[in-house]
A and B are shown apart, each in its own frame.
Chain A
Amino acid sequence: MPMEEHNKPIITIRGLTKTYKGGHQALKGIDLDIRQGEILALLGPNGAGKTTLISTICGLVKPTSGTVEVGGFDIVREYRKTRHLIGLVPQELTLGAFDLVSDTVRFSRGLFGMSKSEEKIDEILQDLSLMDKKDAMVNRLSGGMKRRVLIAKALAHEPRVLFLDEPTAGVDVELRKDMWKLVEKLRQSGVTIILTTHYIEEAEEIADRVGVISDGKLLVIDEKVNLMDSLGKKQLMVDLRTPISEIPSQLNEFDVELSADGQRLTYTFDTQSEKTGITKLLQAVSEAGLGLKDLNTSQSSLEDIFVNLVHNEHEH
């Protein structure tokens, strides 16, 4: 896909708010552009507004104010066009228990106004490794298989955007990795994927961009790499030859912590600042007469960034 095409938003959200009847404000002015062909992970604690956001774009929840455009069409005025572009895989395994796999996928295709195409249904089932379950009853399938059936249903009308609401919730590690491969495969076929997840590991593994939602607000959205670079802190661990009981005065000007066993000094620094202070720190360590055994660095994970963002938001 050409770069400018890739950067073109397929979904544009402006000033989106949603207040439920009881007065709960689930979305508080979301502005967001989702690029064509990307995988966007939306992270957030329970009740942050992730599912409300997805449900609003898909037409399940009426927005209170603001606009959402999908493929350049308004989701309220031109709902037929926008919904045709979207596939939704819900969080819950909501399937007609007594339906056959092929019947339920065929039903989904029809609902979206697509004519019957057994070849297309077979192709989707094949891609999702469901071909051998084509004539099986849904209630006889495992949880992982049911999740695949939900994806098959969402893809039955060949959407350009796929929403996956907590796709790997309650799924074991192996199946989760299978799901990641599947998501990547879908992206390669040109489908834009937006997923909500609790698993930071998931966002870290498969997303191009990460958005963090908390209390109905989009706290941050950026390329996963940029986010980790800009918000991530790096740490330098200095292992000492001989344990010390307290931090020497020469190191007072540095943000240094001493481990309980007195054998490790941990220095936290900002990767974005012009000077990290590592050279000066190592000089000060030498001046203090401390012998070095080893040096290690580590970078904060997306999880640390997420926890910090949400924590800061709650404090404000």
Chain B
Amino acid sequence: MNIEAVKAIYFNEMRRTRKTLMQSIASPVISTVLYFVVFGSAIGSRIQSVEGVGYGSFIVPGLIMLSLLTQSISNASFGIFFPKFTGTIYEIMSAPISFFEILVGFVGAAATKSLIIGIIILITASFFVELRIAHPFWMMTFLILTCISFSLFGFIIGLWADNFEKLQLIPLLVITPLVFLGGSFYSVSMLPEFWQKVTLLNPVLYLISGFRWSFFEVSDVSLGASLITILGFLGLCLIIVGVMFKTGYKLKQ
């Protein structure tokens, strides 16, 4: 394994984040604070509690997931798309490095950035609401698995996209609606019965539910279902990336 090459890609990506600190870190944190102001204070004051948890606290896992998903996808997709766009990808493709090592470098950096953002949001949230984490191990497990699997998904989007419009297409039209409709700001039990059943088809619901359970031990679906969903998604992304690399999809002619 070419460890030096993996480190080179990883630290190069992390350096890019440091250069754009406002965009990379401050922006998601400010957005989250705004969500707290709007949902936590304005709306939350009218909703006393959800399943025994104060509304402000209840939305914290959903807000973290919202940022994790969008940031993981955006970091990883942009990370691989930009060298393709500028042409600097030639250097990576002509280096003695395997596709797997390229993947570890890019996805590792994107997942690390998302993880940092997730933790920053968690700390920020603790200034606004009272937080308790009932199962820290499971909380970290969900956090890390989500960062890795959605960074992988972002990497796939970055490989597939050949223009900026395509790069934004799936995050905007698929991921954001799924997160908003996946119980980020409400419990599924608050919906009419028909929509409860429809929501069960949303895979993001399972992530948010499992993550919320690790905080408050309240969930819309079982922990097992949440774990199977995230691991299944991770496996699916790995298979797609594997096929893309094997065929040299959009990387090699």
Binding site for B on A (CB under 8 A): 20-21, 58-62, 79-81, 83-84, 86, 88, 90, 92, 94-98, 103, 106-115, 153
In angstroms, how far is the closest chain A Cβ from the Cβ of B154?
20
Within 8 Å of chain A (Cβ to Cβ): is B46? no
**Which one, B5, B19, B86, B87, contacts A111 given CB within 8 A?**
B5
Q: What's the A-B contact tally at a CB cutoff of 8 Å? A: 75
| Contact assessment for B93 and A111 in the assembled complex, using a CB-CB cutoff below 8 Å | no
With both beta carbons as reference points, the residue of chain A lying nearest to B7 in the complex is identified as A110
Q: Once bound together, how far apart are the Cα atoms of A58 and B89, in whole Å?
A: 13
Q: Which 9 A-B pairs have the closest CB atoms?
A: A110-B8, A94-B87, A80-B96, A83-B96, A111-B95, A58-B94, A113-B2, A113-B4, A84-B96
Q: Which residues of A contact B93 (CB under 8 A)?
A: 59-60
| Contact assessment for A110 and B94 in the assembled complex, using a CB-CB cutoff below 8 Å | no
Q: Give residues 96-114 of B contacting A (CB, 8 Å).
A: 96-97
Name B's interface SS: helix
Q: Known contacts A81-B96, A88-B94, A98-B19: does B4 contact A110 (CB below 8 Å)?
A: yes
Q: Which residues of B contact A80 (CB under 8 A)?
A: 2, 96-97
Q: Once bound together, how far apart are the Cα atoms of A136 and B214, in whole Å?
A: 48
**Which one, A79, A94, A95, A153, contacts B96 given CB within 8 A?**
A79
Q: Once bound together, how far apart are the Cα atoms of A1 and B167, in whole Å?
A: 52
Q: Which residues of B contact A62 (CB under 8 A)?
A: 248, 252-253
Q: Known contacts A96-B88, A110-B4: does B94 contact A61 (CB below 8 Å)?
A: no
Other A-B pairs beyond A60-B252, A94-B90, 20, CB < 8 Å: A20-B253, A21-B253, A60-B90, A61-B253, A62-B253, A80-B2, A81-B96, A83-B94, A88-B90, A88-B91, A88-B94, A94-B88, A103-B12, A107-B8, A110-B5, A110-B11, A111-B8, A113-B2, A113-B5, A115-B4
